[in-house]
Amino acid sequence: MSIISRVKFLAIILPIFMLILGFLALSFHFVLKGKHEDEIHKVIEADGGAVLDIEKVNGDSSPFEKLSGANRYYKVVFKQEGKRKTAWYRGSVIVNNIHKTPKDGYPEKWLFNDQEKD
């Protein structure tokens, strides 16, 4: 195989490889986001609340003191007993089990307005 044919081969394969990686990364992001949102709705609604807004935030913008890139952080605005309230959710990035503690992260945790930080 000549150098020119190798360059042509790489010029075709590399963009295809990058597209596949991009597709997988986007798929991972949306699946994880959906699982976290489902969990947020389940927990808030089980306590008699109704979710109004879910916002993914940087860990620095959350009240959690222990932060990791192996976790995702959410600000949850909900209505309960006619009052607007805020909760914070720290979720795991393990797609097949969002309740499992990540190797380099912290366990799943909820903070409500009246609770202490971790």
In the chain, domain spans: 3-112
Q: What is the largest CA-CA distance in the chain?
A: 74
Question: Mean pLDDT score of the chain, rounded to an integer?
Answer: 91
Query: Mean of the pLDDT values across residues 72-99?
Result: 93
pLDDT tens digits, one per residue of 30-65: 999 999 999 999 999 999 999 999 999 999 999 999
What DSSP element (H or E) covers 87?
strand 83-92
Query: Mean of the pLDDT values across residues 71-86?
Result: 94
Residue-level pLDDT at 2: 83
CA distance 37 to 44: 11
The residues pairing with 75 across neighbouring beta strands, listed in sequence order, are 55, 88
72 neighbors 108 (Cβ within 8 angstroms): no
pTM comes to 0.79
